Structure 1
Amino acid sequence: MRWLTLVLVVLITTLQWPLWFGKGSWLRVWQLDKQLQEQRAVNQTLIARNAALDAEVGDLKRGTDAIEERARNELGMIRQGEVFFQLLDPNGKSPPRE
């Protein structure tokens, strides 16, 4: 009877080993599921970024408002006849002199 119990335990262990630790094991399935969830989150952020870039490209193709906004903010340009006012914080540091 002891031998039969031992043989059954060894048989069950042999059959269960690939299920838990083999190539297609539950542990591997859980790891792949976690990777899939992480990749889906990354994909969502990239989809949002692509949508924003697509909207910006559309604005640049359709009108001059986006181009004017970029010229003002990034290059510091102003229109002819406009006067530029810079308001400084009295408690803040003064800007570097050129």
Structure 2
Amino acid sequence: MTHPAEPLSFLRHHARTILGVALAALLVHDISGTHGFLAMRRTQKEIERLRREIRQVTAENRELDAQVKALKSDPKLIERIAREELGLAREGELIFKLPAPPTGKSEPAKK
């Protein structure tokens, strides 16, 4: 039969070991657990990446907004884009389209 003092003496005898194991388990959980230190670092890095992306998209947005304002108010810009990108011309003008130069490596002339 067991005496009530036996579990108590076991705890007293192994208290440091039990405490050490419990602290080690708590430390491992705090470092690598779902909400631990490593997860926090990953989240912080993701937040920084998203902030950089937001800054980049915001700058691009400002640039596009400036282009929209320019297109709404600058007739010369509208005409230049119409000519260069759409190939449009004023009434009475002629458009000459030249063939594009060949791309790639040129072969040596044959004799």
1:95 corresponds to: none
Pairwise mapping of residues 1-98 of structure 1 onto structure 2 (< 5 A)? 3-89=14-100, 91=102
What is the rounded CA distance, in whole Å, between the counterparts of 1:13 and 1:67 in structure 2? 70
Q: TM-score, normalised by structure 2?
A: 0.65
What is the rounded CA distance, in whole Å, between the counterparts of 1:23 and 1:91 in structure 2? 60
Cα RMSD of the aligned pairs, angstroms, is: 2.5
Q: Which runs of 5+ in 1 are unaligned?
A: 93-98
Q: Which has the higher contact order (CA 8 A, sep 6+)?
A: 1
> Radius of gyration: which is bigger?
2
Identical aligned residues as a percent: 30
In the alignment of these two chains, the number of paired residues is 92
1:96 corresponds to: none
Amino acid at match of 2:69: G
SS of the residue corresponding to residue 78 of structure 1 reads coil
